[in-house]
Chains A and B, each alone.
Chain A
Amino acid sequence: MVYKPSDFRGKVAIVGAIDAASPTGVLGVSERDLEVQMVKGALDNAGLKVSDVDGLFGTGMMMPTMELAEHMGITPRYTDSTMTGGSSFEGHVQHAALAIAAGMCEVAVVFFASTPRARGKGLGDMSAMMGMMDPKNPMPMVEWEIPYGNVMPAGAYALAASRHMALYGTTSEQLAQIAVSTREWASRNPNARYQDPITIDDVLNSPKVATPLHRLDCCLVTDGAGAVVLTTAERAKDLKQKPVYVLGAGTAHDHAMMISEMPDLCTTPGVISGREAFSMAGVSPSDVDVVETYDSFTITVALALEDLGFCEKGEAGAFVADGRLGPGGALPTNTNGGGLSYTHPGMYGMFLLVEAARQVSGQASDRQVENVNIAVAHGCGGVLSCTSTLILGSEDAL
């Protein structure tokens, strides 16, 4: 028989979550040691032990789950190193939920650590790409985009923002409001890189990076790490935290790292991943209490709100302008301060997951939103290329 996605609704839960970031932006711990800290911390948060783990999910340069498993003495019977950029971790939860529901593993850990501040800024990644290049068969991006010097990744998102503004009249002030609302949340997160309130003028007066995006429209570059633990709904009932059930999941991509290959710069594959996730969960955007959505740039949030159906295509600018994304607003969004103000270690998807799980399980301390039954975690990897949408819910949402 063939199953339907909705057959897996609520069968698996996130039962542990932890993350690490510092107001300095620097953690001063190696990536491997951070991974170990996060795996142990998430298991401790759940009330489970390393010896319980039989499924491992992570991403990185080389065989990341194998490297960490070797280091920690874990022998998983299910392993997944899917790499879809910043959306990888939502994808890992989707895959873990299916693997657990199918009985292929029972306790899964998704992990992430990245210390770009220790590596230093610069063109390291591009140089690495050049080094691996066959000069007679370069990656298409090397031949058709890089010679034009678009500043990456900001320039790709700037192109999308320029198109959105031209088509729909979206303004820099409206995009800036997203950064302002997100900063209001960050002021409630003692680990956030930036916690002082900002105004729309602060955003507009910050240096231009790639028009129409200013520095404060852009995410941070910080160290960061995190992990979540998943298990069966049955086992979740006996653990330390309120279970955070995986109600729906969807993933889609329509290009990779070339923004010139994106079919429509104002429409992300979030239309597809969101449709799949909401359909599997049997809920609609109006049922959502908290949104954790990838904010590599302010425009990333605007496009996601439209593509997930929180507002109509082209209306995100007006939708966010009343501050509804901030504390006390109608649609609390990026409640940890987001990649714009909390942390952004190259890939941000883990922090969406951790914050969504905390909000649903009531562990979000000073920034806890009341009566959260349904949260969205929406990752976006590449340059608006791959989106992965999760609908997470409390027991009341089952």
Chain B
Amino acid sequence: MSRMLMGTSQVAEPFWKGTEEKVLRLQFCKDCGKAHHYPRNFCPYCHGDNLEWKDVSGEGTIYAVTVCHKPGLPTMAASVPYVVALVDLAEGPRMMTNIVGLDDVNSAKVGDKVKVAWEDAGSGKNLAVIEVA
């Protein structure tokens, strides 16, 4: 799939740095212990700002899944049908992603165990996608 990032934020620099080495990283709150995604300058649960970045397992479970028969981006028009999912990571946070590497795009189901994979997104960065584990 042709990948394009339309901007990466200053707060997420450690995340994108991790993708250069194909490592998934999340922010954890040192006060309440919870991990969150997308990155913020404070914890969205306890609203403290005592945060740290940690590498995480990249394992998760499909929370919801759809097969897009129409492209959401012009650059992905040649790739339909493709799979968009929300995945609950083992550490807690939910992220939107694509499920790749399926023989049958309709085979990914809610509850399936998945693992992070990577696709080149340009400028040395990678986009976190998902393969069924």
Contact = CB atoms under 8 A, between A and B. Distances in A.
A146 B7 CA distance: 11
B66 A149 contact: no
A161 B84 CA distance: 13
Interface residues of A, number: 41
- Residue from the set A145, A150, A154, A213 with the largest chain B CB neighbour count within 10 Å: A150
B66 A146 contact: no
A69 interface: no
Contacts of B70: 151, 154, 209-210
Interface stretch (A112-120, A129-137, A179-187, A319-327): A129-137
A260 B96 contact: yes
B76 A149 contact: yes
Chain B interface residue count: which class?
35 or more
Contacts, number: 121
Contact of A148 (B9, B64, B97, B106): B97
A178 interface: no
B57 interface: no
Contacts of A163: 63-64, 110
B76 A155 contact: no
B95 A144 contact: yes
A135 B9 CA distance: 7
B7 A138 contact: yes
Given A130-B6, A143-B5, A147-B4, 4 more contacts: A144-B96, A146-B72, A148-B72, A159-B85
A142 interface: yes
A47 interface: no
A210 B69 contact: yes
Given A166-B109, A208-B69, A211-B67, A148 B6 contact: no
B114 interface: no
B98 interface: yes
Contacts of A258: 96
Nearest to A134: B7
B112 to A, nearest CB: 10
A259 interface: yes
A144 B86 CA distance: 11
A154 B66 CA distance: 10
A151 B95 contact: no
A211 B86 contact: no
A200 interface: no
A105 to B, nearest CB: 37
Contacts of A213: 66
Contact of A162 (B64, B71, B75): B64
A145 B7 CA distance: 12
B68 A150 contact: yes
A123 interface: yes
B84 A148 contact: yes
- Residue from the set A147, A154, A260, A265 with the largest chain B CB neighbour count within 10 Å: A147
B84 A150 contact: yes
Interface string B22-43: 0000000000000001100000
B99 to A, nearest CB: 10
B64 A143 contact: no
A280 B60 CA distance: 42
Contact of A160 (B6, B64, B67, B76): B64
Given A138-B8, A140-B38, A145 B96 contact: yes
B86 A259 contact: yes
A381 to B, nearest CB: 20
Contacts of A60: none
Interface string A155-184: 100111111001100000000000000000
Given A146-B73, A148-B98, A162-B64, A138 B9 contact: yes
Interface string B75-109: 11001011011100000001111100000001001
A211 B64 contact: no
Nearest to A135: B7
- Residue from the set A136, A146, A260 with the largest chain B CB neighbour count within 10 Å: A260
B72 A207 contact: no
Given A143-B12, A259-B96, A265-B86, A150 B72 contact: yes
Contacts of A155: 66, 68, 72, 84
A208 B96 contact: no
A152 interface: yes
Contact of B111 (A147, A152, A166, A207): A166
